[in-house]
Amino acid sequence: MESLRLRKNTNSKKKSEVAKYVKVEGSVVDENDINEKKEEILSNREDKQTDNNRNEGKSNIISFKITFEVDLLSFLLFFSALFTRFYRLEEPKNIVFDELHYGKYVSLYMKNTFFFDSHPPLGKQLIAGVAYLSGYDGKFKFDKIGSPYSNSVPLFAMRLVPAFFGSLIIPTTYHLMLELGLNQWTSLLAGLLLLFDNAILTQSRFILMESMLLFFMLFGLLCILKFRKYKEKPYSLLWWLWLIIGASSLTCALCIKYVGFYSCCLGLAILARDYWKQLSLPRLSDMSLFIRFLAQSLVLILIPFAVYLSIFYLHLTLLYKAGPHDSIMTSAFQASLQGGLASITKGQPLLVAHGSQITLRHTHGRTCWLHSHTHVYPVRYPDKRGSSHQQQVTCYSFKDVNNWWIVKRPEKSDLVVEQPVDAIKHGDVVQLVHGITSRALNSHDVAAPMSPQCQEVSCYIDYNVSMPAQNLWRVDIINKDQNGDTWHTIQSLVRLIHVDTNQALKFSGRQLPDWGFHQHEVVADRIINQDDTIWNVEEHRYTKSEDQKERERDLITAEMIPTTMTKLSFWDKFFELQYKMMFSGTESVQNHMYSSEPLEWPFMSRGIAYWISNSSNAQIHLLGNIVIWYSATYSLFMYSILLVFYLLRRRRLCFDIEEETWNRYLLTGKVFLVGYLFHFLPYFFVERTLFLHNYLPAFTFKVLLMTSLIDHVYYILKYRLKSRLPSYIFLAFLFGWVCIIFLVFKTFLVLSYGMTALTTQDVIYLRWKDTWDFIIHKT
């Protein structure tokens, strides 16, 4: 009975399938056609069954399907960017603005010579790599802005790298907008706005870093957004791929300039927000959430760590020779370089002993040496405080004979080194006698001249008054676990603790006035454990004669420039370089005529003169497209106002737009508005010289926010209003606005390329704001 019922069901199913083919829009089909169609259906079913049986044994075979998509708009943007960036790239054949600095760094790479820069080296390495492949020998001297390049400089190759990355910015922007759910025309508009901005064009055509920074920043965010699409397919190939590439790209932005750190923070914020939302999903168990968190965390820690370390490993491996910036680094670092401090300290004694003649260098921060001279502290300071009127002790930034000191045991009267050597060890008490004046390093309960909360340090003079000498110092070797408890030249890091008051000898960082010859103050500080209390012996020799005059002659004739070459591990060099880059403060606040403040950037109040021709008024001046800059600034406020409006309405349960549109509006704000604030607000707390080009990362986010706002306004006008007329008027206005942007871009191209000889009247015509300082040759 069951088999009969099954057969009936099968027959009825077959009839229903045949019936689908019998009914033909009102026409009549004869019986023969029906029978033929029935046989055809049955035959097809048998063929399918055969195919299924054939494929049962092939279940283990994996099939691949590769799909290629060509986006013509993306290619159009890319080739347009290539044309504008590469057009007569070798013009002008002169040093333009910061090419002066970056060109020097590239030349030093070619010669394997160490240099110090406060920013990471990736951008310089990329340019240096292309220059090396082009046969550049690094002999050209980048002496001043405007100097002509010699034929030995592969100028096109060196400018190619920033120009290429500047071209990639435009299509990357286009795809970033698409990834956020915006349509192709809106994404095209975003690309065109950055394509027609004169500031980004100018910054992309020369040996500068910003174009590389912008590309890695935008591409990293694009990868992070693509990664978000696979949150329902964790641990898939593309899930891993986009996360790894995104982390690598954002780290590369950090390795171009440290402002890329803000882009890294933005990427982490996006991922953290997504993970926080996933925590509320009941279908995800605690274990799966923990594993996902662990996997993402490992990628976001290990990949940036590996990329960052690799770049600095290459940097320190290539730069193994001594160079012009050695003095910024510690003595041990200098001695590890070929031909540097080691050439000076070659053959000098390793152990510091009673009778050692030494120079004491401030180890961290500013490069200077413990110094004294015959001049004394003034009797009274301007604030009416009195001093000890003893011999001045300072920290001097230059090599000088007055930097020499002699280490002496308090119980010994002579200064000659004995055999065997009486080495100084951790915890020993010594006196430091100034080599030229023979007065001992001293401190006492007198306020320091510039740091009254600390004690004055002097060289003791016996005035036959009630102020006895307090010139005993305890040697505290802070790295004795690594280098032993005996005081070694260069390698030992020491603190000198004043025995009577238990205060440490310290470089205060303050500069003395005229009476101190603007040298730096040295004090005794009760806070012992700090970097500014650490010193090391750099130059070292043993005293051979007890006669003071002979000692002085030996000191004066001693070589003032640097045992065998110090071997530092990569980690020692890496951590020291990181410390110096973070805290050395090489970029000080200066009154540069083209510097500007963050509040001046949104409305482009100041530009920067990059170059001017010697024979005409042809010049390169960093200015953005003023229509884009002003529009983007106003749109920033409009977006924020509209966001507050929506939030208030939704709080009152008034939902003016669909949930999908609202989520897209929020997402663009989270990426672009937050990105703008991340890259703009920190500059208000920066104490160094700032220029307009520092604003370009924040400006890029602001332009993208403006484009997404334009898309949203068009949506409201077209779909929320009953009449289509407002949307047509808006499109017409938008088209006119883009035309004006292009005309302004074209007008100011002469200041981006610098190839057009301008008259005085032409320059005056381009001065649309009174605060723009163009250079005009007198004619």
495-510 pLDDT, tens digit per residue, is 999 999 999 999 998 9
Residue 502 shares a structural domain with residue 633 = no
| Average per-residue pLDDT for the chain | 87
Closest among 146, 206, 155, 199 to 612, alpha carbons compared: 146
33 located within any domain? no
In terms of domains, do 231 and 220 share one?
yes
Tokens of 302: 């290990």
215/362 same-domain check: no
Residue 6 scores a pLDDT above 80? no
Query: Does residue 504 lie within any of the structural domains?
Result: yes
**Is there a single domain that holds both residue 299 and residue 327?**
no
Answer yes or no: is 56 within a domain. Answer: no
Query: What is the tally of structural domains in the chain?
Result: 3
| Residues 484 and 579 placed together within one structural domain of the fold | no
**Owning domain of residue 329:** 320-344+569-583
Same domain for 418 and 491, yes or no, is yes
21 has pLDDT over 60: no
pLDDT at 779 over 70: no
Give, to the nearest 10 degrees, the angle between helix 725-747 and helix 626-651.
150
Q: How confident is the model at residue 778 (pLDDT cuts 50, 70, 90)?
A: low
pLDDT at res. 714: 94
pLDDT above 60 (res 701)? yes
Report yes or no on 774 lying in a domain: no
Same domain, 338 and 351: no
Confidence at residue 8, expressed as pLDDT on a 0 to 100 scale = 43
Which value, to the nearest 10 degrees, does the dihedral of the CA atoms of residues 743, 745, 746, 747 take?
A: 80
pLDDT of residue 17: 45
pLDDT digits (tens, 9 = 90+) for 537-556: 988 888 776 666 665 566 55
Report which of 578, 576, 582 is spatially closest to residue 333, judged by C-alpha positions. 576
Assess whether 499 and 356 both reside in one domain: yes
Residue 592 lies in a domain: no
End-to-end CA distance of the chain: 113
**Cβ count near 772 (within 10 Å):** 17
Strand partners, 495: 476
Here the tokens at position 296 are: 């993402």
pLDDT at 174 over 50: yes
Residue 612 included in any domain: no
pTM: 0.76
> Mean pLDDT over residues 106-115, rounded?
95
- The answer as to whether 531 is a domain residue is yes
Between 369 and 555, whose confidence is greater?
Answer: 369
Least reliable range by pLDDT among 12-16, 84-88, 239-243, 348-352: 12-16
Share of the chain above pLDDT 70, in %: 86
Provide the pLDDT for residue 364: 81
Residues 238 and 276 in one domain: yes
Residue entry with tokens 């990293």: 220
| 184 in Cβ contact with 197 (< 8 Å) | no
The listed range with the strongest mean pLDDT (18-32, 181-195, 378-392) is: 181-195
Q: How far apart are CA 705 and CA 675, in angstroms?
A: 10
pLDDT for position 7: 45
Q: Are residues 146 and 187 in the same domain?
A: yes
Assess if residue 700 is contained within a domain. Answer: yes
Mean pLDDT of all residues in 7-21: 45
Q: Are residues 244 and 133 in the same domain?
A: yes
Same domain, 549 and 670: no
Distance CA 118, CA 104 (A): 14
Q: pLDDT-derived band of residue 20, with 50, 70 and 90 as boundaries?
A: very low
What is the structure's pLDDT at 339? 75
CATH classification at residue 387: 2.80.10.50
Average pLDDT over every residue of 330-351:
76
Angle at 269 between CA 263 and CA 273, to 5 degrees: 155
